[in-house]
A and B are shown apart, each in its own frame.
Chain A
Amino acid sequence: MKNALRKSTIGVLLGAAFAIAAPGARAQVAEIKVSYQPALYWALPFYVATEKGWWAEVGLKPVFSTFPAGVPQIAASASKSWDVGGTGSVPAVLGAVRYNLLTIGLTNDESVGNALLATAAKADAFMKNPQSIKGQTIVLTANSTGDYAVQSCLARWGLKKTDVTIKSMGQAEIISAMSSNNADLGGLWAPNIYTMEEKAGAKVICSGKDAGAIVPGALVARSEYAKEQPQNVAKFLAVYLRAWKWMGTHRAESVAMMKKFYDVGGVSISNVSMNKEFDTRPVYDLAGQLKVMNRAAAGSDVDKWMTQIAEFMKSTGTMPEVPQAAKYITDDFMKMVDKDPKLKAFANQSN
């Protein structure tokens, strides 16, 4: 492992040196710095593609970096720590406003994977009478998709942000606080939801989907990188799409891989919960991506979803203005995959 670490460090350094020393000089294998968060459903394709050796097939050599949450991940893009990656939609919008981050596709629809949970003892009462949540304390990770889901739930019950006390902390702290009965309500995302359900008996009382909110996950790219290396961005997308295609037809093997991947991320949940991840979180293939990003009729679905999120963030005071969707959401790279017959075939390959 020490070697692996050293290699990755050297890899990053070399990659940086390469990018500076030889722009345009087309090497056989191009380095690309990919960022994600460990032990998340939408990050699984990166792991699968690596295990299967698909990166090399398109001439990419990924260098991975991982982050505990979206915000530090976005912050690290400012220092060019990574080129492309996946993240939550909330940090993606924040990144667009602060650092010109581009949203180039969707990882999945995680409306079910972001939810408000309550401890076993209190869950039923809250579900029966959501109004009783008034005056309670909710712990959540601010500026995350979990935050968005919780606030959407409150809105659905006609509750305002000021009706409850919100305390912001990391997901690990939330798990500690709820499992020790120091907090009754918490905003979590999967697989942390399953950890809480399985190990502490907590219950989901409202997911983003229940609240009628669409919570997508975003594929993002640093805008300078996308301008310099559009080809690599397209190849990156093709690899990602192929991994989903394969997982769609190889469930048993996918679950086995998920178990390994989650293990490395310190998450151990049951097979049932892992299957639930696959069952409740729709993903998009190339055609699906192009469809939800298509702006032909008065703005695309993705534009609408992301703008709703941006409005939520404006309402929390995180950012002063709602950014124009067309400025940071682009299907150019999906189209590049679509137009390149080789890449298109690659992206749609299910084996």
Chain B
Amino acid sequence: MDERLSRREFILLTAAGLAGFFALWTLLAASGLVPKLFLPSPLAVAEKFADLTQNPFVGFTLQQHLLSSFGRFGAGFVLAAVIGVPLGLAMGWFRWLDGVVSPLFDALRFVAPIAWVPFAALWFGTGIGGPILIIFSGAFPPCVINAYRGAKYVEPRFIEAARTLGASHWQMITEVLLPASVPSIVAGLRISAGLAWQSLVGAELIVASSGIGYLMVKGQGSISTATVMSGMIAIGLVGFVIDLLLRQLEARIHRRRGR
């Protein structure tokens, strides 16, 4: 909107914003308005964080907890993408399928991933299936919606052109619709990855042996707010990195398509 900032100004303001954030936090912790036990200072949390990466808590170090969380996340996310994207594309292309799936889909959209916890335990147990179902239910909708939009709003002239050239249904899907929907699909995957990662904490409520959500619950159970906050930060950081990577993928695809 307004003019671009100079590099110096940008860095200055960013630093000021961050400093303000941490200053507010420190002040609040120091003021005693919230007891220290429940709002440790940033420094105390940083110390705990470092400690957790060195010394195991509830059996494992922070990195190991993250790793096992990551495995669950990956499985749920990949499953959602593998099922959701083709389904969305097909819904965009076949009108009857759209009519069949859309109402179901709209109804289930409001049901929280965590509401699936009891069924997840009932149907799949705790091995790996239960947690995956919960992550899947978080990650699935954006995959479908964006693939659907991508396929539905392909420029009509492309379709006309392909049709006059005598493309078959199959060719139409693989050679016209799919490539045209890629940007939308990738955007959907990015949202989906974010939601999958967020559903993880819910998923780890039903497995009690490892994972970052487990670490947080146990931290809470032993009255260690710093451990809980370290878990939050770890989740936040990894979520941020996942988003960053997918954003780069998105930018690369846009560039290749000459936009």
Contact = CB atoms under 8 A, between A and B. Distances in A.
Interface of A: 1-2, 5, 9, 12-13, 37-38, 65-68, 72, 75-76, 78-82, 170-173, 175-176, 179-180, 192, 195, 199-200, 264-268
B127 A9 contact: yes
B59 A79 contact: no
B205 A68 contact: yes
B130 A176 contact: no
Interface centre among A75, A175, A200 (most CB of B within 10 A): A75
Nearest to B125: A81
A75 B223 contact: no
B123 to A, nearest CB: 6
Interface string B124-157: 1111111000000000000000000000000000
B35 A180 contact: yes
B53 interface: no
Contacts of B210: 1, 5
Contact of B68 (A2, A76, A171): A2
A127 B219 CA distance: 30
B223 A179 contact: yes
B253 to A, nearest CB: 32
Main secondary structure of the interface of A (DSSP, over half): helix
A81 B126 contact: yes
B208 A68 contact: yes
Contacts of A66: 208-209
Interface of B: 35, 37-38, 57-60, 64, 67-68, 71, 117-118, 121-130, 205-206, 208-210, 215, 217-223
Contacts of B121: 72, 75-76, 78-79
Contact of A175 (B35, B67, B125, B221): B221
A37 B125 CA distance: 15
B126 A172 contact: no
B205 A9 contact: no
Given A37-B208, A66-B208, A176 B126 contact: no
Contacts of A192: 221
Contacts of B59: 1, 264
Nearest to A266: B218
A5 B64 CA distance: 10
Contacts of A80: 125
B221 A266 contact: yes
Contact of A38 (B64, B71, B125, B208): B208
